[in-house]
Every structure is written in C-alpha cells, then in structure tokens.
Structure 1
C-alpha cells in the first residue's frame, strides 16, 4: 500500500514541509510511542517483519513486508552489513557475603597472560557495570562459578568498574568467548522487559546470520531481518554484499541530556573496513550504483571512513562520528534500519538523511498502523537516491 503525502494529506504536507527542517532542539525529536508498540519478541521468522518504505524522492510511504526489500535493490547496487557478533555480557553471581550481583561487561575483556593461580587459569580485564544491593568495594571478589570469578579493582568517576576476570579453561570452555557463553546471558536492551529475562531463543535471534567478529554488547538490529535466503536472492539479482565491523557499545543506549543536541558527546566504538570492502564501495559509486547501509552502525562506519575526495578508505580504529541534521552524506545513499527511540542520537541520524519532519511523520504513521518498534521490531527503508 502506498501513501502519497501530498495527495492524501495535503494540509499536513503543506504544514510540515513549510517548517524549518533542521532543528537542534532535543524536544523537536520526540514522538508518542505506546508501550504496546515496543516489540518484546522477534517476528516468527527473521524476514517476516513488516517494512515501512520512506521514499524521499517521491514523498511517499509504502507498507510492505521485509522480503520485498529485494524489489527495491537493482543489479549494480551494493549493500553493506555489519558483521559484529554480540557476546553474553550479562553475568549473574554472588558476593562473598552471599548477596546477589550482576556484572555487565561494557566491552569484550582484554585477555592477559596466564595468571599464577595454577594450570589452566587465565586473566582478563574489562570495564563493567555492577548491580547489587550494595556496591562492592574495590578488592572484593565476585563469584560466578568454580571456574569464573571477578575482582573489583577500582571505580571510574562515572561509576563504571574496572574488573579483572579469573577464568579456568575446561574441555567445554576452550577460550574466553566460550567461558562467557557458558556463564553469561544475552544483554537484551532495557526496553525489552520480560519476567524470565533472556531465553535460549534470544541467543540465536539477537544475532545476525552473518555475525562473525565478537565484540558487541548490543546487536546491529537492522541486520536481524536478513535471512540467508534474502541475502542469496539479492546476490543472485546482481547486488553486491560487503561487510564492515562496528562493535556496538553500551553508549548506544545513553540518553541525550543536552537541550541542544550539538552539545551531546557521542560514544566511541571500534570499526573496521577491509581494503576489499573499501574498493568495492568506491567502484560501485564510480559505476553509478547505489550504496545501501544496513543499520546506523554501517552508516557511521562508512561515513567516518570517507575522505574529502569522497572515497572510502580502509580503516581499523575508533569511530566518534556524530551525525545530526545538517550533516552532508558522502557515501550512503539509502538505509535499511529499525525504528529508534524518541530523542535519541539514532533518530538524529535518520533525520539528517531524510529530514526531521518527514521522519517524525513516518514514525507517527507507523505507530498508528501498529508497527513494532526497536530491536525486535519492524524495519524501515529510507530511500534518498531513486
């Protein structure tokens, strides 16, 4: 179903497009979202979610199903996905007093040399959040199992804890990642509120089918819609699929607390683009193909790596690019994404791409039409290059 704004909403069209499209006030990025619109579980199948197409070139909204995304890409286009892998960052344990404690790792731990506790024991350091009835003091050891403990070394000014993990490898846990998988839980976002917490289903569905490089505490959720079948059909159509890596950090959930969004300090995240991917993107642009980013993580990575001449460069480093209205996109043409929180930095990004009023109208329309929002919710395709 196609909704043409100018034809179906003439007064609204005149109103929203006569207003200034670029605002830096946080309050101008708000919208009403009923609790029932926040998805608590994924769709029955990955590619069975709904798809709201926002066509900037024709000022249209179109209601489709996600598998229809194939219809919008053409031979010679290139789609970029983020192949980061979510690790089980939430670990439940006890203090030496017996009180419960939750350790939330904010990064994949940095492995150290084998520690002196005995054969098979290893150490790693990490930054974490601790949740308990009383904050553990520095020097306290937290117990998660006979083969995994964590010593609280110190606290940072913002309350984050520096911890040192001690873990013992076994026949079933042969490296740090498998240790965390054995003891940890998938760190679902705070807006997914269930009495039973994360489930075995989440360990599979809160992960993309192409996840490869471990390092994220949250999934690049736009990619959750892509089944292997959809990716295969795209490639058979002549669409090039390339991978980048951005490890999603806890900062992606950090609320914006400044009235002027330009004063917000964006979070820093590790990114990587291979020479092969950079060359493929540049070649596609030169040949007139469109660059489709899957998720805001792919957008930030590609735009950060684009030089002044408009060429994407290989990179292995840290990205702190903050995209908000007024930003000039140099690489990304179209975006496949999910619906984002009100007053969030991700809503700023999509507003920079398609226009604030257009996006707010699309979001309000999606609410009215019963779309499911956020990580396990439905998808949106933003088309700026026809």
Structure 2
C-alpha cells in the first residue's frame, strides 16, 4: 500500500513532553466495533472491560542506552538497539562518517567500546571493553533514550528515569518503553483485578528501530528491524484457555500485540516463543491472537499507525485521529491512550 495513505496533520503542540500525573489520569479514546466512539480516561478502563478479559503487558525494562562519546576529537553518539551477545550490541551511530572499523570510542565514566563493524543498514556493532555487564556500564554512562520528538524539544533529565519506565518493568533490554503501559498504576491494577479481569506478561525488548521513519513510498519496500521476544509455555497455555472459553485477549501496547501475533499459528493458537520477530502488520493482516488493543497515539506514516489501521480500518482510524486532534488529545510516548475493540 502507498505510505502516504497513512499521513495526517498533527499540530506540534499536541506532542506530550511529560506524562499525565497521576498516570491513569490520561485521557482515553474508546473505539468499539464499526462506529462507536467514546471520550474517556484510563482510570475508567475497568468499566470498559468484562470479567474474564485478559490484559497482556510487556515486562521489558528500558536501559539507559543512549551514549555520548569521542573518537579522538570527533564527537560520536550511539543508541544501542539490539543485543548481539554479552559484550556486543548493535547501535545507531551519530556522526558515523568519522568512524572506521576498529576505532575505539570513549564514552566517559570508564566506559569504552570498539566500533567493530558497519552493518548493511548503516548501524554498527559495538564491542564493549571490560568484564562488567554492559547494563552496569550503561547505568554509569548512559541516558534514557527518549524518542526524538521529545528529545528534540527538551533535554533528558533524572525524572525520565522513572517516567519512561512502566510499573511492570522487570527484564533489562529495551531501548524504548512499551508506552501503552506507562498509564498503569498499582491502584488501577487492583481495581482491574477486583472486576475479575486478568493480567499476563510477556517480554519484547523494544528496539530503537521503532522510531525510524518509513522512507519507502510503498509498504512492501519497508524493512522492519528485528526485536527479541519471549512468551513462556505457561503464559501461552493460559491465553489459549481464555480464548477457548470465549474471553478476550487485549494487548496493552503494539509491542505485546506484535509478539502475540508472531507466536500464533493460522488457527489462532499461541505457542511458546523465544527469538527475534520482525513482523510488519499492515491492512489486510488477519489477526489471530488478540481481540483488542490499548495503545497511545502514533506518528503519521508510521508502522504503528499502519498497525492500528489494520486492526480497525484505515478510514476509521483517520477519522478517530482527526477527532483526537480536534479534542486536544496528547500524542506519542508520554501522551494519551486509546482502547481499540474491533
């Protein structure tokens, strides 16, 4: 499909620079079926769901994966986006024209790496020196990798270390937050569970590729970056049992949705999964594993706006986003939410 079909006008003042406080005070646009549209709030989510529904969260934890360093006199910026092994990460590099294979980069605070190899997509393999786990090095020298549409408007600060982390964060490895879950609080989860709504977790380490623009003119020509994910056997079994009992599985965030769809077979059975996924969901995709999605508002012409258009219909989502703009909803990672129930 033509990428320009997924474009829309967005006033820059609607890009949220901080999350709502408290988190569940964020607004939520609810779309049900073919036509119902409701303005609500995240705190009202328990009343929007039914007993037996299952909310599936991503328990990945964002690491401070953005590094600023030097190769000689040249300033080098690196955003890690995918682990290769214990000491090597794939990274997008700023000022990469000043790098040669084998060059050392000093990131300060006793953290350094060798620019090992330039990859076909323009990213680099960085091999970190020393024996400390790379995650420990990042805590010392790294910054939280805020999306460029926030980082371009204000500097990252200490508050982002907690703001850009969900309450479910347990497994280090993401370089972008699963932002739909940023809206949840312990009190909201208590009220959800009190209504008989169940929760499950999986892990998808979100990569920086989620921020990359779609430069192709046709969706067939866009290559997705792979991300590592895992669904254990017990979780898959419980999700399959819920759907077999006629209950709904609702993904909290496009990351949870993409991993569930990657793990499901043609019959809709979710299997245990561990490995990379580069699934690209566009209109025409037949959803096999999920019955709904809670997600934030996405960028024009992004793969994620294509995903929600696949779930609800492109014209429906264009209309919903026009409504959200007119009503002043806040967009992107720190913005408001939507609940999509086809």
Coarse TM-score class (shorter-chain normalised): over 0.9
In structure 2, the residue matched to 1:274 is 232
Q: CA deviation at 1:235?
A: 1.3
**CA distance in 2 between partners of 1:33 and 1:96 (Å):** 41
In structure 2, the residue matched to 1:337 is 295
Q: CA deviation at 1:109?
A: 6.0
In structure 1, the residue matched to 2:22 is 45
- 1:246-305 CA deviation, whole Å, 9 max, x = no partner? 111122122222322233222221111111111111111111111111011111111111
Structure 1's unaligned 5+ residue stretches are 1-23, 112-123, 170-174
Which aligned pairs between 1:116-155 and structure 2 lie closer than 5 A? 124-132=87-95, 135-145=98-108, 147-155=110-118
Q: Which 4+ runs in 1 deviate beyond 6 A?
A: none
Structure 2's unaligned 5+ residue stretches are none
1:27 aligns with 2:4: yes
Secondary structure at 1:241's aligned position in 2? Answer: strand
Please say if residues 306 and 330 of structure 1, whose CA atoms lie closer than 8 Å, have aligned partners that are also in contact: yes
1:88 aligns with 2:46: no
Which aligned pairs between 1:173-212 and structure 2 lie closer than 5 A? 175-193=133-151, 196-212=154-170
**CA distance in 1 between partners of 2:46 and 2:208 (Å):** 32
In structure 2, the residue matched to 1:74 is 50
Secondary structure at 1:43's aligned position in 2? Answer: coil
C-alpha distance 260-228 of structure 1, shift in aligned 2 (>3 A): same
Q: CA deviation at 1:185?
A: 0.2
1:325 aligns with 2:288: no
**CA distance in 2 between partners of 1:354 and 1:344 (Å):** 16
Q: CA deviation at 1:154?
A: 2.6
C-alpha distance 323-215 of structure 1, shift in aligned 2 (>3 A): same
- 1:323-359 CA deviation, whole Å, 9 max, x = no partner? 1111111121111000111111111111111111110
**CA distance in 1 between partners of 2:131 and 2:288 (Å):** 48
**CA distance in 1 between partners of 2:88 and 2:9 (Å):** 41
Higher Cα radius of gyration: 1
Question: What TM-score, normalized by structure 1, do the two folds share?
Answer: 0.84
1:309 aligns with 2:285: no
C-alpha distance 145-53 of structure 1, shift in aligned 2 (>3 A): same
**CA distance in 2 between partners of 1:133 and 1:366 (Å):** 39
Which aligned pairs between 1:349-368 and structure 2 lie closer than 5 A? 349-368=307-326
In structure 2, the residue matched to 1:253 is 211
- 1:98-142 CA deviation, whole Å, 9 max, x = no partner? x4322221224622xxxxxxxxxxxx1222222249612223222
Please say if residues 88 and 180 of structure 1, whose CA atoms lie closer than 8 Å, have aligned partners that are also in contact: yes
> Number of matched residues?
342
Please say if residues 80 and 208 of structure 2, whose CA atoms lie closer than 8 Å, have aligned partners that are also in contact: no
Larger mean CA deviation between 252-261 and 374-383 belongs to 252-261
* RMSD (Å), alpha carbons: 1.7
**CA distance in 2 between partners of 1:42 and 1:92 (Å):** 26
**CA distance in 1 between partners of 2:120 and 2:316 (Å):** 40
Q: CA deviation at 1:230?
A: 1.0
Which aligned pairs between 1:99-118 and structure 2 lie closer than 5 A? 99-108=74-83, 110-111=85-86
Which aligned pairs between 1:2-13 and structure 2 lie closer than 5 A? none
**CA distance in 1 between partners of 2:67 and 2:164 (Å):** 17
Please say if residues 206 and 227 of structure 2, whose CA atoms lie closer than 8 Å, have aligned partners that are also in contact: yes
Secondary structure at 1:164's aligned position in 2? Answer: strand
